[in-house]
Structure 1
Amino acid sequence: MGTVLVLGGTRFFGRKLVELLLGEGHQVTIATRGQSGNPFGDKVEHVVIDRTNASDLQALMANRTFDIVYDNICYSPNEAKAFCDVFNGKIGKLVFTSTLSTYEIDGAVKVEEDFDPYNYEIRMGDTADFTYGEGKRQAEAVFFKYAKFPVVAVRFPIVMGVDDYTERLHFHVKRVAQGEPIGFVNMDAEMSFIQAEEAARFLLWAGQTSVEGPFNATATGAITLQALMNLVEKATGKRAKIALLGDDKIRSPYAIPASWYMKNDKATMAGFEFSQLDSWLENLVQHIAQQYA
């Protein structure tokens, strides 16, 4: 049994990670803004903090240490640097939730070497100073430069699940079911995805093994947006109304101009076994479609 801190952890794959940790008997502390409540009750210690406030982090870590910290809510280099300043010497390992967005959308399948955080020029700033992808790139670079503890940067693609609060996949199913148009840019573009349960299992694995550095974590395989919409049509029994481009109201959250997906070979070789994308995606689409039948 170990001591584990999860920054975030009350929603979606963060919540599933905490459930896995509790199932293994770990002593878990979750630190959140308190806006989503505490679904675990007295099974965890719940600390309400502002992740962007260094003083809150200092108060959290006063006279305590953790074996593993999972940071699901760091989005900028300033936040990463404050984390290092406070947590250096007090934790055994950090697992940082990063993203496919660290890679350019250029049609090429992505491997970890396509973004090198160890030699990336650091520009300090807050979340508002960067795009989402650049903020994560900068955060990775800061962690790998200033952390005095092992760091794993887990690069997830879009995470899918019935309980996805962003409802990105739901958006497509709902609009097709209701006969509303969806805007795309390139229907032949391929994407990769991961299920929330698998994302949680990967985070657990990354914390408990000796791996360090950046790791792509995605279900094996990719799917074109056309093929994805075919699954939605099959599940809803309706024909999708596809508009090229379109305004913000109808534009798909997956409206990318070129293929944007990654390989998981590095993590596979390190010992993690991923699912096949086509083994669960159709079932997930059908499950969501039942909500709009």
Structure 2
Amino acid sequence: MKTALVLGGTRFFGKNLVKTLLSKGVKVTLATRGKTPDDFGDRVERIFLDRVEKDSVIETTRGRKWDVIFDQICYSSHGAAVAVEAFRHSTSHYVLTSTLSVYGSLEKTCYEEDFDPYKYPISYTRRENISYQEGKRQAEAVFFQKAPFSVTAVRFPIVMGKDDYTDRLRFHVEKIMHEEEIGVPAIEAEMNFISQEEAGEFLVWCAEQKLKGPINACSNGTISLKNLFSYIEQAANKTAKTTSRLTDENSSPYGVDHSWTMSNEKASFWGYSFTNLQEWLPSLIKAFVESEKKVPLS
């Protein structure tokens, strides 16, 4: 892989994806609307387009070719169809960022075969008209059923990191440090996570291997919300206040009602060595706690 186009490389683990590519000497083209600044300077080429408008994508990328295209920002069948048409002659391999959510609410560990995008019925619609879960299902279905190039769909659980703009981990840190109630339906429920650094690295690894089909990616190990809160309690020297009474203000963004886990056995079989959750999660929590201590009280 000598050249790569990245759709969505200015936020969260998209930045880690770009950093990993650059560290390997890949010539990176960053596709953006120009609304989010980045700190890559002249190390990347930038092109400006509207990801969901076919004419914009086609006109901006006409005649261009890349060894691999990474798509961090496809959330619907419409977006996938735009890419299939626009990049028909632009690449031989495509890496789509997908999600554990495609499996739905299975009360068992999720394996790749538990959702089959090759047979899933396609219903063409835009992102605003469907849920996140259905949008990602539809996106996978379009790519695997319609794309003339090979495709990898990387299914991530919740990604954690300092650059997480959703502030899901920060939500829990703030609640515990301020001794505010957290609403959780099942505090013993187990979950998988992956760090933003590993997410970026894994996407690049998939491109290097030219893996085809869906593949799960998560750090080794699971953790319950109870134990996650315990890490925060230790770092903050505070006690978590939890309740099963959920409100708009207290509901945990990790508040699943049963264990929600995935297997990374397929990727491990193909040679990827995942980190253990315990290797990075405690230090990340400590960083969030220290950051919160620096915030002035209002």
Q: Deviations over 1:16-42 (max 9, x none)?
A: 111111121111111112221132121
Cα distance in 2 for partners of 1:271, 1:60 equals: 37
Deviation at 1:88, TM superposition (A): 1.2
Whether the 8 Å CA contact 1:216–1:264 is kept in 2: the answer is yes
How much does 1:132 deviate?
0.3
Cα 1:131/1:245, change in 2 over 3 Å: farther
Q: How big is each residue's C-alpha offset from its partner over 1:219-255, in whole Å with a ceiling of 9 and x where there is no partner? A: 0111111111111111111111112132112111001
CA distance in 2, matches of 1:287, 1:61: 40
Could you tell which deviates more after superposition, 8-17 or 136-145? 8-17
SS in 1 for 2:257: coil
Structure 1 position 29 matched with structure 2 position 29? yes
Following TM superposition, the consecutive aligned residue runs of length 4 or more in structure 1 with deviations greater than 6 angstroms are none
Give per-residue Cα distances to partners, 1:21-69, cap 9 Å, x unaligned. 1121111111112221132121111112111111111012211111100
Query: Match of 1:277, as an amino acid?
Result: L
Any idea what the Cα deviations from partners look like across 1:77-111, whole Å, max 9, x if unmatched?
Answer: 01101110111122021000000111122321111
Compute the RMSD of aligned alpha carbons. 1.1
Q: Which runs of 5+ in 2 are unaligned?
A: 294-298
1:234 corresponds to: 234
Partner of 1:126: 126
Report the Cα offset of residue 210 of structure 1.
Answer: 2.8
Structure-2 residue corresponding to 1:70 = 70
Contact 2:48–2:60 (CA under 8 A) maintained in structure 1: no
- Deviation, 1:268, is 0.4
Which deviates the most, 2-11 or 158-167?
158-167
Give distance in 2, aligned partners of 1:72 and 1:292: 29
Q: Is the 8 A contact 2:4 2:27 kept in 1?
A: yes
Contact 1:14/1:72, CA 8 A, preserved across alignment: yes
1:116 aligns with 2:116: yes
String of CA shifts for 1:193-218, please: whole Å, max 9, x gaps. Answer: 00011001100001111311000000
**Letter paired with 2:228:** L
Structure 2: which amino acid aligns with 1:190?
Answer: E
Provide the secondary structure at the position in 1 that maps to 2:253. Answer: coil
Query: Hey, what's the Cα distance between the residues in 2 that align with 1:22 and 1:275?
Result: 22
Q: Match of 1:61, as an amino acid? A: T
**2:211 aligned with 1:205, yes or no?**
no
- CA distance in structure 1 between the aligned counterparts of 2:65 and 2:111, rounded to whole angstroms: 34
Please tell me the residue identity of whatever aligns with 1:266: K
Q: Counterparts of 1:103 and 1:240 in 2: how far apart (Å)? A: 31
Deviation at 1:176, TM superposition (A): 0.5
| Pair 1:257 & 2:257 matched | yes
Partner residue in 2 for 1:100: 100
1:169-212 per-position Cα deviation (integer Å, ceiling 9, x unaligned): 11101110011111111111111000011001100001111311
Distance 1:243 1:20 in 2: 41
- State yes or no: 1:290 paired with 2:290: yes
Task: Using structure 2 for the length normalisation, give the TM-score.
Answer: 0.96
Partner of 1:19: 19
Is the contact made by 1:38 and 1:46 (CA closer than 8 Å) also made in structure 2?
no
C-alpha deviation, 1:291, in angstroms: 1.2
Give, in whole Å, the separation in 2 of the partners of 1:117 and 1:31. 26
Structure 2 CA distance for aligned equivalents of residues 40 and 224 of structure 1: 37
| 1:29 partner SS | strand
Q: Percent identity?
A: 45
Give secondary structure in 2 for the equivalent of 1:31: strand
Matched AA of 1:102: V
* Equivalence for 1:58: 58
Instruction: Give the TM-score of the pair, scaled to structure 1.
Output: 0.97
Using the alignment, how far apart are the partners of 1:16 and 1:210 within structure 2? 19
Contact 1:4 1:68 in 2 (8 A): yes
Q: Which residue of 1 aligns with 2:193?
A: 193
Contact 1:100 1:155 in 2 (8 A): yes
In structure 2, C-alpha distance between the alignment counterparts of 1:89 and 1:20, rounded to whole Å: 25
| Aligned counterparts of 1:149 and 1:236: Cα–Cα separation in 2 | 49
The residue number in structure 1 matching 2:150 is 150
- The size of the alignment, in residue pairs, is 293
Write the distance in 2 (CA, Å) between the matches of 1:24 and 1:261: 32
Answer whether contact 1:106 1:258 (CA < 8 A) is retained: no
CA distance in structure 2 between the partners assigned to 1:14 and 1:176 by the alignment? 29
Aligned partner letter, 2:104: E
Contact 1:186 1:255 in 2 (8 A): yes
The 5 Å alignment of 1:30-45 reads: 30-45=30-45
Q: Does 1:80 align with 2:80?
A: yes
CA distance in 2, matches of 1:33, 1:237: 43
